[in-house]
Amino acid sequence: MAFLEVKDLHVSYGAIKAIQGISLKVEKGEVVTLIGSNGAGKTTTMNTLAGLIKPAAGQILFKEENIAGHDAPDVVSRGITLSPEGRQVFPKLSVWENLDMGAYSVKDPAVRKRGFEQAFSLFPILKERSSQPAGTLSGGEQQMLAVARALMSDPEVLMLDEPSLGLAPIIIQDIFNLIKKINGMGTTILLVEQNAKMALGISDRGYVLETGRIVHVGTGEELMKSDEVKNAYLGGI
Amino acid sequence: MFFQQMINGLTIGSTYALVAIGFSMVFGVLELTNFANGSFYILGAYLTLTFMNAMRGNFYVAFAISIIGTGLVGALMDRLTLRPMRKKGAPGIAAVIATIGFSEIINNFALVFFGTETKPFPNIFKVGKIRLGGAIITYLQIIIFVVALVLMLVLSLMVYKTKVGKAMRATAQNTSAARLMGINVNHIITLTFFIGTLLAAVAGTLVAMYVESVSVGLASAISMKTFAAAVLGGVGSLPGAMVGGILLGLVETIVAGYISSGYRDAIAFIILILVLIFRPAGLFGQKTQAKV
Ligand SMILES: Nc1ncnc2c1ncn2[C@@H]1O[C@H](COP(=O)(O)OP(=O)(O)O)[C@@H](O)[C@H]1O
Ligand SMILES: [Mg+2]
């Protein structure tokens, strides 16, 4: 049984069937990437895993328990967090307060303290900016804050929805380096990216999503070599 | 004379500020314009009076039961009517109308249970007054002002310094991100309604004692004035609600004193309309940040 396993998941927005029976697996310690074009259903999948949306059918098994339909706070307390698409930092809270909210579910003050230390060592810029309202940060800094905030509860699985969206190439490289580093520290990562080449480059495995269905599965390398994937998502390189 | 008006205006203004803070907290978290505050205000006064009579004049216990009880009614309004609407994704205006409906229900119950006539309310702090310049400041005025000030301070500390206060602000700024942090948004909303409603009940009781009477007819004017005070300060801003409430009390009293008391209730709306024309974001309101 996999660490995190999605079985035949269906998600609808009213009459719109956004996810139509997807299944995927994430093993402990892996980096797994979900790629797919705009509107394929990547964000819907992530939000459903995080407990923001209730699925119409299917199972989400985490450590052998079905958590499909559980509310977001329960999912967080079980050790899965999401850094959502578009960052969604709290603009009028300070950087420090945003991180503090990331540790909202943490009871142990020692874990909290370690969370802040880790956040500031991974993202030194956040320490400099800690008393500044998050809304005044640059896009790249906000993205770092969103990732750092999702790490504050010391999750076992970190989900990242398009962390490179709208960022300059040099900053995207930083973000990917950090993802590798976080994974190296033992956190399992489920990544959604449009930037397929870089994402597959750091991934153990990948899934390709097309209009709510999974159309390709493979290791990062396999997918990068596949002609179909190359043509559709890697700009034909 | 002017100094006296200022003192009277400050007294009544600090009670508007209390109700406006509650209004603004609820607005901040839900973007909901709650028109039931005036009804919670009179309900608080009626319940204090009722429990006081039942307990042979023990004001403090009666007051405590009343404000907590009224707070629970406010929380209940959310649980019974507003939460189901949010769950079904009802449009915002439906919730606003629900608060008006709930307010009418309370007013109607109050008419049935407490009677249609204006009820006398005892002033238990009639003991003394201070002369200052040409003006007279009663102990009750001092008590009202101090209670309002202390509550504002406690609330500000809560909202800006405590974990639950930060969770309230986080929920107000981005509800789904708040859920991703593990914040139980429904608990936060219930708590916000409880506090907001409790503040209205405190203000209602204090004012009933100040004017030595209470009647159902006050409810809708208070709801509207609170709305005006909050808009004046900048909706959703706590300092704005405080300043808006106090300013409204001052202007209203001074106009009533110097022009005619007949215009007292119109003043709030003249101010409201002027603010909406010339400074729609209010005194303390910020233009919403577009950066995401
Ligand atoms: N809140 C919503 N209401 C209705 N339809 C939605 C909503 N969010 C997404 N969709 C639809 O669901 C499909 C998948 O969207 P999404 O999961 O955001 O895709 P992606 O993240 O891959 O770009 C799209 O067709 C989109 O239009
Ligand atoms: Mg998306």
Q: Which residues pair with B136 in a beta bridge?
A: B131
Question: Which residues approach ligand 1 with their CB closer than 6 A?
Answer: A 13, 16, 18, 36, 38-44
Can you give the residue ranges of every domain in chain B?
2-216
In this predicted structure, the answer to whether residue A138 has a pLDDT above a threshold of 80 is yes
Tell me the C-alpha distance between A213 and B284, whole Å.
49
Q: What is the DSSP letter of B82?
A: I
Are the CB atoms for A45 and A61 separated by under 8 Å?
Answer: no
Residues in chain A with CB shorter than 8 Å from the CB of B167 are 101, 104
SS3 A65: strand
Res B286: pLDDT: 65
Q: Report the length, in residues, of chain B.
A: 292
Sign of the alpha-carbon torsion through B238, B240, B243, B248:
negative
Q: Can you give the pTM of this predicted structure?
A: 0.90
Question: Which residue of B170, B179, B291 is in closest CB contact with A135?
Answer: B291
Per residue in A153-210, pLDDT (tens digit) is: 999 999 999 999 988 899 899 899 999 999 999 999 999 998 888 999 999 999 999 9
What radius of gyration do chain A's Cα atoms show?
Answer: 17
- Stretch B99-109: mean pLDDT: 96
Task: Give me the helices (H) in chain A, please.
Answer: 42-50, 72-78, 95-102, 109-122, 124-128, 139-151, 169-184, 196-201, 220-225, 227-233
Per residue in B152-184, pLDDT (tens digit) is: 999 999 999 999 999 999 999 999 999 999 999
Q: Strand (E) positions, chain B? A: 119-120, 129-132, 135-138, 213-214
Tell me the C-alpha distance between B188 and B226, whole Å.
22
Q: Which of A103, A217, A193, A189 is nearest to A154 (CA)?
A: A103
Distance set, CA B64 to CA B48, B147, B241 (Å): 8, 14, 24
Tell me the C-alpha distance between B248 and B239, whole Å.
14
Cα-based torsion angle of the residue sequence A102, A105, A110, A115 in order, rounded to the nearest 10 degrees: -20
Per residue in A11-63, pLDDT (tens digit) is: 999 999 999 999 999 999 999 999 998 999 999 999 999 999 999 999 999 99
Report the nearest atom of ligand 1 relative to the CA of A14: 4
Res A237: pLDDT: 47
Per residue in A88-118, pLDDT (tens digit) is: 999 999 999 999 999 999 999 999 999 999 9
State in Å: Cα B245 to ligand 2 middle.
44
In this predicted structure, the answer to whether residue B54 has a pLDDT above a threshold of 80 is yes
Can you give the residue ranges of every domain in chain A?
88-146
In this complex, is the C-beta atom of B173 within 8 Å of any C-beta atom belonging to chain A?
yes
**Is B182 within 8 Å of A88 when comparing Cβ atoms?**
no
Q: Whose CA is nearest to atom 2 of ligand 1?
A: A13
Residues in chain B with CB shorter than 8 Å from the CB of A105 are 181-182
**Is A73 within 8 Å of B291 when comparing Cβ atoms?**
no
Cβ atoms within 10 Å, residue A8: 12
Q: Which of A74, A28, A88 is nearest to B292 (CA)?
A: A88
Distance set, CA A226 to CA A229, A230, B109, B121 (Å): 5, 6, 72, 83
Tell me the C-alpha distance between A184 and A158, whole Å.
13
Q: Lowest-confidence range among A133-137, B81-85, B219-223, B269-273?
A: B269-273
